Structure 1
């Protein structure tokens, strides 16, 4: 199955959970599992394109497509946070100005996407602040931060096996990412969390962490295109 196929399946299952909750006449955007204090947490999604430039248009296209799938699945825009440099839709190299497609002949997945962090605001410091719910730590963008354990989808190139890029500033290192996830666990910012990283081999860096902290990871494997 392709990366796109894997993500479509992931979002489909995520959407089923939302619709299942609605069918039981509960609030569709709340987790079915309660926290220790009995309060339900709101579902969140964090979508990140870690590249820029028209030659890397697929990453932002996949993020836009993911946004559309989540919206169709029932997730509110206020609970989806989008990081994308936003230099593709109106790029001079784009033969269809204002349009982004994620497959040949596909629909315009750019339409209606609410972009929270664009340009220079797409950086690792803002990414970490958003995950930690640190509103005072973000610079630029909408200022929106995650309020409870999210679905994280990160589309980018893998560069070293433990590092993926950001379009501005320093990249995202596995060691730093794990520290932030550990802090989230200590602060009880999630009960369960799913991380989907579309970058070759990067997922192996999380093996120990995933087993200990109730995090599920879907990522590219070596040799898979």
Structure 2
């Protein structure tokens, strides 16, 4: 098993590149995108996660294999000059269009984030999407929000490094992936 942990200050996904996430006969690709941002001052956090969603969709990842967590408080925010739309570049296209509401508002928690990664059957029984990966699958995780040494912020709570590391090690033990890439975009993400 390969575990690739990528800590990044910013994420850039090439829209016009060859399909880097194409589905292989031996396995599937699973994607978890999470914006921990809340409020208008964190617009860029959610806009970048929405852009990542549009990018992986264009790469051919099936909707059933993409899980999105976002507070979802920007598109109709009274400060938004383009009501119902979110852009991540000046005069850019709407990156919010079609973004699923898998986990929004109070559901954007560290507990749910970890449960999604492990494919928690309780969430699935509630009709929620989870990562149902196996030993031949690729898993891509992109998390963006604020952070500090040893933790990242969610709208109401923190995800601590030891909790995340424990979950990733357990996924490895349980053979939940052949490859895993984790992009973490937060202050102090490398500490």
Is TM more than 0.5 here?
yes
Q: How many residues align?
A: 180
Q: Compute the displacement of 1:76 (Å).
A: 1.3
Structure with a larger share of its residues in helix? 1
Aligned match for 2:20, one of 16, 19, 23: 16
RMSD: 2.2
TM-score (norm 1): 0.74
Q: For structure 1, which runs of at least 5 residues remain unmatched after alignment?
A: 19-28, 32-39, 205-225
Q: Given the superposition, is the C-alpha separation of residues 13 and 153 from structure 1 closer, same or farther in structure 2, using an over 3 Å criterion?
A: farther
Residue in structure 2 matched with residue 134 of structure 1 by the alignment = 120
CA contact (8 A) 2:123 2:129 kept: no
Residue in structure 1 matched with residue 131 of structure 2 by the alignment = 146
1:27-176 to structure 2, matched below 5 A, reads 29-30=23-24, 40-137=26-123, 142-148=127-133, 149-158=138-147, 160-168=148-156, 170-176=157-163
The structure showing larger relative contact order (alpha-carbon pairs under 8 Å, at least 6 residues apart) is 2
Runs of 4+ aligned structure 1 residues displaced above 4 Å come to 11-14, 137-140
What secondary structure does 2:140 align onto?
A: strand
What secondary structure does 1:104 align onto?
A: coil
Q: Compute the displacement of 1:201 (Å).
A: 2.7
Q: For structure 2, which runs of at least 5 residues remain unmatched after alignment?
A: 1-7
Q: Compute the displacement of 1:42 (Å).
A: 1.3
Larger Rg computed on CA atoms: 1
Q: Given the superposition, is the C-alpha separation of residues 12 and 184 from structure 1 closer, same or farther in structure 2, using an over 3 Å criterion?
A: farther
TM-score (norm 2): 0.86
CA contact (8 A) 2:34 2:49 kept: yes
